[in-house]
């Protein structure tokens, strides 16, 4: 396995660790499904070096947090520095969007929501057609929600068109509408969840139905 492939695998694993804080397990699975192929040639050495840097930073961050929680802050600061180095000081090619994504998620997971929004926005400025861009928009919405900026969160969620996110988006919209005291739009969003997902055992369906029972 090349360092590039291992770097992507490590990023996916790290993202999956954050799913309790931020719902980014779906883009991780999509990234795995896409299975981007990386072949090492002399002209790609800079890209390979960038993947290596990114992978090492993510791996060290993850291992330190798990094994030495008392050094968590130090590990995160070091990882942020390495991600920024990949983004700003290396000819990283197709590694750059992943470095931005990892950096944004690191800011988010540590409660640095303003920095997370800035980083995710930088991602969209340069890579709006990237296949994880809809999930970056979703992450921006979550960061705004954490900051109490519910209307901005709603605006971001409404801007997402990826079908695979429709059910979750409506659940998120309902929650944000509730926080703004907008009961009817919240009910409409939760009803949409039930229209899109018919499996009564689905956790999103259960939550949407629970919120409808509370609101009605």
pTM over 0.85: no
What architecture is domain 3-161? Alpha Horseshoe (1.25)
Whether the Cβ atoms of residue 193 and residue 165 lie closer than 8 Å to each other: no
Q: What is the pLDDT of residue 199?
A: 87
- Give the pLDDT confidence of 115-158 residue by residue, as tens digits: 999 999 999 999 999 989 999 999 999 999 999 999 999 999 99
Q: How many H helices and E strands in the chain?
A: 11, 0
Question: Which sequence spans correspond to the domains of the chain?
Answer: 3-161, 162-216
Of 96 and 22, the structure prediction assigns the larger pLDDT to 96
Cα gap 188→95, rounded to integer Å: 40
């Amino acid at each position: 396995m090349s360092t590039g492939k291992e770097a992507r695998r490590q990023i996916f694993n790290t993202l999956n660790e954050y799913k309790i804080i931020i719902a980014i397990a779906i883009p991780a699975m999509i990234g795995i499904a896409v299975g981007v192929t990386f072949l090492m040639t002399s002209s790609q050495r800079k890209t390979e070096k960038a993947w290596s840097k990114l992978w090492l930073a993510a791996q060290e961050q993850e291992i330190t947090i798990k094994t030495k929680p008392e050094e968590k802050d130090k590990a995160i600061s070091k990882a942020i520095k390495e991600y920024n180095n990949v983004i700003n000081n290396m000819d990283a090619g197709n590694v750059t969007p992943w470095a931005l994504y990892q950096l944004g998620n690191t800011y988010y997971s540590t409660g640095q929501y303003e920095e997370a929004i800035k980083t995710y926005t930088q991602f969209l400025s340069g890579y709006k057609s990237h296949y994880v861009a809809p999930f970056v928009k979703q992450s921006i919405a979550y960061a705004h929600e954490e900051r109490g900026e519910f209307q901005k969160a709603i605006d971001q969620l409404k801007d997402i068109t990826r079908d695979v996110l429709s059910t979750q988006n409506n659940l998120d919209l309902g929650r944000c509408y509730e926080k703004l005291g907008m009961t009817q739009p919240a009910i409409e969003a939760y009803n949409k969840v039930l229209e899109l997902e018919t499996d009564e055992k689905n956790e999103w369906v259960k939550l949407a139905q629970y919120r409808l029972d509370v609101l009605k």
